[in-house]
Structure 1
């Protein structure tokens, strides 16, 4: 009897190992491997031309796939959840996010964690839905997370993911390029992780120059910020090349660092500094560039627990870096109390010198 039980146990272990092996072979074979540069399609690219000296506004917002509202935690941050609580909640979050975005009346929106076809957001095409809410804007989308199946957490896996960056604009662009960022996790973790990237959109200016607008989302959970440093080095080199051309540059998005000029200690919290959050490295080089952040309004909360005012650790990780030939007119963080996303949006007003 014992011998038969051990035999069956052995077969079960063999079968489980085989299933895991087959799964790893499969996800490796179908792993999304984007080229270093991809020219992106832009829909409804019928906007106006940027004018030197006239203010324009840009809003950055990590919408957390319309699933990370106040009541949510996330397993990667120490919580338990991996998906939106329901399709109805996802739709409500997305509708509220769209309303907030419209109310800022910005010329350009750079959004992160926008799902197109994902289990975690109930397969709602958020790109299409946001496009309906803002029909007068051009739309450029770049994948940075495409995985056939994320098997964790085991009891409630994240599942399939197709997500990315979305840039919306009232200005006409001449090109939009996805740049793959360096730094990858080890196998097989990378096969289920994001492929970090940024969108570089080029907008002609009436003085013959160009505005290069970057929509980025840097790594978050790399140990010690090693991968983030590689990504920032790549960005620094890109900035140098564009500066030499005389371009205007606005770089915005989710930096996943505590940004210069901001201090998380200014926000009430009962939690300590989370392991994933890094201070912005002093080694980053962008001569003459200036940060445009709102240090008074937190732009992100921790996700190990649902949001509780005065409890979650808060920080400013969303904002802008702009070239010396651009004047920062104003910057405003929008305190939404993380009602529909784990981030708050930030709006900057700029003027091309």
Structure 2
């Protein structure tokens, strides 16, 4: 039997402290600090042009890094897991998600939580199979999560994360850019958090105008919603600038708020309203913008446990906000039963007036 003396215990504690300090120094030095605006590259830019008065569709889908299928939970939501259950399950989820995208036949796709090299998704580059399946689409990727090692949960750490936003387009674009969103957690927590952002795609249309298509993923677990408030204020200012140019705006993605015109109570589940979910603020403007959501199909489930129909809390947090010069033809939530992601995709059909 090994007997530790007081001196031995002190040396062990000092060694652990030294390891933690070295780790924090390493993570701090390698912390991803993106510029406020980054120009992005676009691969396979199509020649097709978007036209006024002709309908087109946009699908938004948080794919949950192809690891949050119906059998999974997540530690930040009260569960215990931080990674996909296996490489095979990740590949199965990704194949099913890709099949959904192929069948949707949308003009544009706005995808969130797409991993390119993460421990949680077995280091699979998820951009490749998705872009390979949609060969006629351009694709643009921007990081919003780039951390060398996330050490929590202690017994099953998330590990390295390289993940972001993926926008695919069947129409020609003139530019793509990543806009950094304000609001950060304090050090050292921010070292292991997402660097929230949105991807702006500029699509030329008739008469010298542009469709500004935004792929958005707001914060979720910020206490009291203080960071989300800063992000929405930034977005509001961005919208006001673009509307001065008389452009068309469609902002889609994962808003991490219960969206206007929706009520989670209609889904009749056993769980109560989770602490992280907030109603979208009434104060957000401009007031003449319209929400395009499907209030009857939940777009997200809670992740404190595996999915059980009628148990997990359900809400609509994925959808679109559009400028008054965009006509909303229809919005359809796709009820996939959360089989391969903790979100369901949402498709909107639109016409530029």
Q: TM tier, shorter chain?
A: over 0.9
Over residues 15-34 of structure 1, what are the superposed CA-to-partner deviations in whole Å (9 max), with x where a residue is unaligned?
A: 11111111111111100000
**CA shift for structure 1 position 91:** 0.4
Q: Are the counterparts in 2 of residues 203 and 212 from structure 1 also a CA contact under 8 Å?
A: yes
Tell me the equivalent position of 1:140. 140
Structure 1 unmatched runs, 5+: none
Normalised by the length of structure 2, the TM-score is 0.99
Normalised by the length of structure 1, the TM-score is 0.99
- In structure 1, distance between residues paired with 2:46 and 2:296: 36
Over residues 4-49 of structure 1, what are the superposed CA-to-partner deviations in whole Å (9 max), with x where a residue is unaligned?
A: 5221111111111111111111111100000000000000012411
Report 1:124-135 matches (<5 A).
Answer: 124-135=124-135
Tell me the equivalent position of 1:32. 32
Structure 2 unmatched runs, 5+: none
Over residues 38-67 of structure 1, what are the superposed CA-to-partner deviations in whole Å (9 max), with x where a residue is unaligned?
A: 000000012411100000000000000000
Over residues 181-210 of structure 1, what are the superposed CA-to-partner deviations in whole Å (9 max), with x where a residue is unaligned?
A: 000001001000000000010000023210
Tell me the equivalent position of 1:207. 207
Answering whether residue 159 of structure 2 is matched by residue 159 of structure 1, we say yes
Report 1:1-353 matches (<5 A).
Answer: 5-353=5-353
- In structure 2, distance between residues paired with 1:47 and 1:127: 22
- In structure 2, distance between residues paired with 1:24 and 1:150: 11
- In structure 1, distance between residues paired with 2:171 and 2:47: 4
- In structure 1, distance between residues paired with 2:77 and 2:162: 21
Q: Are the counterparts in 2 of residues 47 and 137 from structure 1 also a CA contact under 8 Å?
A: no
**CA shift for structure 1 position 224:** 0.8
What secondary structure does 1:234 align onto?
helix
Structure 1: which 4+ aligned runs deviate by more than 3 Å?
1-4
- In structure 2, distance between residues paired with 1:100 and 1:2: 58
- In structure 2, distance between residues paired with 1:100 and 1:3: 60
What secondary structure does 2:221 align onto?
coil
- In structure 1, distance between residues paired with 2:204 and 2:316: 31
- Count residues with an aligned counterpart: 353
- In structure 2, distance between residues paired with 1:285 and 1:292: 15
- In structure 1, distance between residues paired with 2:265 and 2:305: 19
**Are the structure 2 counterparts of residues 47 and 344 from structure 1 closer, same or farther at C-alpha, using a change threshold of 3 Å?**
farther
**CA shift for structure 1 position 3:** 9.5
Q: Are the counterparts in 2 of residues 39 and 177 from structure 1 also a CA contact under 8 Å?
A: yes
**Are the structure 2 counterparts of residues 5 and 199 from structure 1 closer, same or farther at C-alpha, using a change threshold of 3 Å?**
same
- In structure 1, distance between residues paired with 2:321 and 2:24: 40
**Are the structure 2 counterparts of residues 223 and 4 from structure 1 closer, same or farther at C-alpha, using a change threshold of 3 Å?**
closer
- In structure 1, distance between residues paired with 2:245 and 2:64: 35
